[in-house]
Structure 1
């Protein structure tokens, strides 16, 4: 059966970076089944990341705000007659939706209370896997030749032109390198300090002679405006961009410096060097990017590293990241490009 799959449904409901990190799995599936219809189920607003995408034929968008079963969405999904469904998310809702997709073969994690929804269950790995390797491990029942791939998002010509026009209108010179800085993050404990982002921006502008662009997620406007003010640089107003427009703008940067959060993963996926500032998270899992491709990790292990805490009174791991460290790694990323 696995040699003649005609329709494959992949589910990863959220979040931004997690969905980007599933694209290597999509590449493997597309190469193994070049004529199969590949669908993807994700929540809004993350579903737009794959609209369009060369390895995805259809995207099903789940509205998280609505409780219960999305009957209209289910009816639309079930029209496809899926041969295979792969649940990369593994929460109760995604497990049930995978089961209700009607797929004859259903792959998911071997989790208590959910394993009954799958025909093939993937046990937790005995060693630490990168996020990319974790997703690829779900292909084991298919017995495919799997090589670790790089994440990829497609930016259309229209989106690329929009980004060029946006930057030109904001006063950026297309002939000079732009470095993006992203001071926000979902977890407060993952946020490097505003004054250090500001100092990094000044050093990059005055010493490295690059243009600086701060990016901002919803609800982060006040934080980023404060960083811009602290930097003393004359920069355009802070703008919250839709995800695909943000990715298109990042594609036009030479490097993108970010906390451990979703936008960090957009950079490698569009071919821009990522400089990841990591604190309480696990860089060996969530920064699977190669130095040979220009990406740089900024991380200092402390006694309480990998605590996974949302909030922290000491912020010891983030304090351990100096401006000099971030600056040197950004210069290294620029030189590699």
Structure 2
């Protein structure tokens, strides 16, 4: 692997899960050139990683717009330019970690003579020179990427999610925290938001949790999210005096830095929550309709999953919106696990 292209273009959480792979490559091949193909925006999570030599941004939004507008010749022209750029880099190996047709096509466009697909499907397997089936211990975080690294004979080390934050981002995050009277280690990040309602804990549950975290753990709750989450975050923050909402006020790198310095993180199955594990922040993760992992690999990380017969249902809930798998997780249960991860942090 002299010149390696990693293709894991989208989904913040999955990029976090895959993040230790580049370090495994560098431990095994210190002189290798490691590039990562990723969508703009998400690339900011990887920009400070010293194990990644190059980030290649896939202009997905631009391509999608051209296709929707019926500008097919222009679309094909952009694809050809992108392909030429990739092939000029002369990758000898390209690894598709996303397994889909779109990621398989991107991997194929690279022109790498060795193209490895992880559990390739949707026809992408025909674009690979070899396919590694998904494997590993399902309950462990990053297990499928660890399995791939093992199959390729890489030095895996501890193989847990890892993220790096630049000095500039650290400074911005600290300034934002200071503007709200917050100090590192003295606040608890809440990550309540995802793209699907069946992955959400209920607002009234967050509202019940916030004053308890403030009063019993002596940590100021801080709600993170995107611009579309601002109103819901405001409602959660209104549950107790002093709760801070920064939903829509941070870019992805600053949100990561804030999580890095949190005293505690509580979140649902979303990328921000998985960052807690990457930074070894004491973390309590709440799962219902999904169950990507139960073992965080860290003593100060716990997963709450009730294991109902209908769970995980993923994208096909059968409960008519009751979402009992999350509704039945109480604020008391979360507080119990929060105390446990904080005790583990103190004992480390």
Aligned pairs (5 A) from 1:224-263:
224-229=233-238, 231-240=239-248, 241-263=250-272
Higher deviation after alignment, 159-168 or 62-71? 62-71
Aligned pairs (5 A) from 1:1-337:
5-65=1-61, 66-67=63-64, 68=75, 70-108=79-117, 109-111=119-121, 113-125=123-135, 128=138, 130=140, 132-139=142-149, 142-174=152-184, 177-229=186-238, 231-240=239-248, 241-282=250-291, 285-292=292-299, 294-309=300-315, 312-337=320-345
Cα distance, 1:184–1:310 mapped onto 2, change above 3 Å: farther
Aligned partners of 2:221 and 2:244 also within 8 Å: no
1:237 Cα deviation from its structure 2 partner:
4.8
The alignment's TM-score, normalised by the length of structure 1, stands at: 0.91
What is the CA–CA distance in structure 2 between the aligned matches of 1:277 and 1:291, rounded to whole Å?
16
1:96 Cα deviation from its structure 2 partner:
1.2
What is the CA–CA distance in structure 1 between the aligned matches of 2:120 and 2:177, rounded to whole Å?
47
Size of the aligned set, in residue pairs, is 328
CA deviation profile, 1:108-139 (whole Å, cap 9, x unmatched): 03435222211111134497464522123334
Secondary structure of the residue aligned to 2:35 is strand
What is the CA–CA distance in structure 1 between the aligned matches of 2:264 and 2:233, rounded to whole Å?
18
CA deviation profile, 1:18-39 (whole Å, cap 9, x unmatched): 0011112112111111011000
What is the CA–CA distance in structure 2 between the aligned matches of 1:131 and 1:332, rounded to whole Å?
19
What is the CA–CA distance in structure 1 between the aligned matches of 2:150 and 2:172, rounded to whole Å?
41
Task: Provide the aligned C-alpha RMSD in A.
Answer: 2.0
Misfit runs of 4+, over 4 Å: none
